[in-house]
A and B are shown apart, each in its own frame.
Chain A
Amino acid sequence: MPNVGAELASVPFGKMIYDMASAIARSQVALDKASISLVKVLASTTFDYVPDVVETLLPNPYQVGTKPALGQAPHPLVDASGNPVMVTGVTVQTDVGTPFPLTLLQAGVNPTFYQFTNSTIEVKMSITSTQESSNSLDVGVDVTASADFLFASGSISTHVNFSTANKYSYSVTGSSSMSTTLAPVPPPKNMMPRFFLVNAMDPSKISISQS
């Protein structure tokens, strides 16, 4: 008779778990190394950061002139009293702040770190056992008798046919599946540098820190 318990016990659960955990650990190390390499690239990528652009609107009054005829100078417009008609014009003065180099890491681009979560090993096993028995018994008795003037004879024969057949089949099929979830996580604090940005021109006035 099939022993289901023995079959289940033969499944190498320990080895499967170890292999999976080992593969996850190796993958985690590779992912962490890639993310750390990315930190280096981000820390070495600089760009010129313009802190601010100041646009100042300045008055620019000018006198209105009539549209000149072709080839003639424009005529300034005056009112009835002879005063020039002025309009309040405006000019935009743009002052671009002094750019300073900033790394992508300082600017706010962080590498993504990944972490394996929720790993599952699933083993399915199907055990099928069938047993068929068939027996047949054939018993026969032949009796013959003859009688003559002086003799009488008789014979009895019997036969017994017995046949038996046993069919026995046993099959075990199994399948296993492994799954794991990879989720992005915030960068570990110990792997990310802390930045302190201090305005050296006036340290007491502006001091921005980022961690």
Chain B
Amino acid sequence: MAIQTYLIAFKREFSQDMSRSVQHRVKQRGGFILMVAKTGIIAALDDSQVPAVAEHPDVKLVGGVTLNPQGYAADRLQRIFAENLSKQLQVTTN
């Protein structure tokens, strides 16, 4: 089990329904949505679940991505990723 960051590129032009459908597939497979763009979704996903997401009819390709700390907006993206991730995580204490 290894969770990596993936870019899930859309096959067609962006639409809310299509984007939601792909996001739903990611959530079904235990993934987390980090960022949504018009051409695709950046999500944290388990390696084993990648084929299932790639089989979605609106997905063109799924490829691993990394955040380059020297990128112009890497720190902002990191904050966005962390903020979106925190909204999807449930922390429970015993």
Residues on A close to B: CB < 8 A? 34-35, 37-38, 41-42, 44-45, 47, 49, 102, 104, 106-112, 114, 184, 195, 197, 208, 210
The verdict on A34 contacting B39 (CB below 8 Å), with A102-B72, A108-B69, A210-B72 known, is: no
Q: Contact between B67 and A110 (Cβ–Cβ < 8 Å)?
A: yes
**From B39, B40, B61, B73, contact of A107 by CB (8 A):** B73
Task: Count A/B pairs, Cβ under 8 Å.
Answer: 83
Q: Are B69 and A41 in contact (CB under 8 A)?
A: no
Inter-chain contacts of A107 with B (CB < 8 A): 71-74, 76-77
B72 touches A112 (CB 8 A): no
| Partner pick for B72 among A37, A44, A108, CB 8 A cutoff | A108
Contact of B70 (CB < 8 Å), options: A111, A184, A210: A210
Q: How far is the CA of A42 from the CA of B9 in the complex (A)?
A: 9
The smallest beta-carbon distance between B57 and chain A, in angstroms, is 18
Residue of B nearest to A44 (CB): B39
Q: Are B38 and A38 in contact, with the CB atoms below 8 A?
A: no
Contact A34 B61 (CB under 8 A): yes
List CB contacts (< 8 Å) of B63-88 with chain A: 63-74, 76-77
Q: How large is the interface on B (under 10, 10 to 19, 20 to 34, 35 or more residues)?
A: 20 to 34
- List residues of B whose CB falls within 8 A of some A CB: 4, 7, 9, 37-40, 42, 60-61, 63-74, 76-77
Name the A residues within 8 Å of B38 (CB-CB): 45
Establish whether residues B73 and A112, one from each chain, have CB atoms under 8 Å apart when the complex forms: no
7 smallest beta-carbon distances between A and B, as pairs? A108-B71, A108-B74, A112-B64, A38-B63, A107-B73, A45-B39, A108-B68
Check B37–A47 contact: CB distance below 8 A: yes
Complex CA–CA separation, A114 to B65 (angstroms): 11
Instruction: Name the residue on A nearest B8 (C-beta).
Output: A41
Give Cα distance in the complex from A45 to B74, angstroms: 15
Nearest chain B CB to A178 CB, angstrom units: 20
6 more CB-based (< 8 A) A-B contacts, given A110-B71, A112-B63? A37-B61, A41-B9, A47-B37, A109-B42, A110-B67, A114-B64
Q: Which of A35, A102, A104, A108 contacts B63 (CB 8 A)?
A: A35
Q: Is the CB of A108 within 8 A of B61?
A: no
Partner of B73 from the list A34, A42, A45, A49 (CB cut-off 8 Å) is A49
Q: How far is the CB of A142 from chain B (nearest CB, A)?
A: 84
Q: Which of A35, A104, A195, A210 has the most CB of B within 10 A?
A: A104
Q: Determine if B68 and A41 form an interchain contact, defined as CB atoms under 8 angstroms apart.
A: no
Given contacts A49-B73, A102-B73, A109-B77, whether A38 and B68 have CB atoms under 8 Å apart is: no
CA distance A38 to B60 in the complex (A): 10
Contacts of B9 in A (CB 8 A): 38, 41
CA distance A139 to B65 in the complex (A): 89
Interface CB pairs A-B, < 8 A, 7:
A102-B72, A107-B72, A107-B73, A112-B64, A112-B66, A208-B72, A210-B72
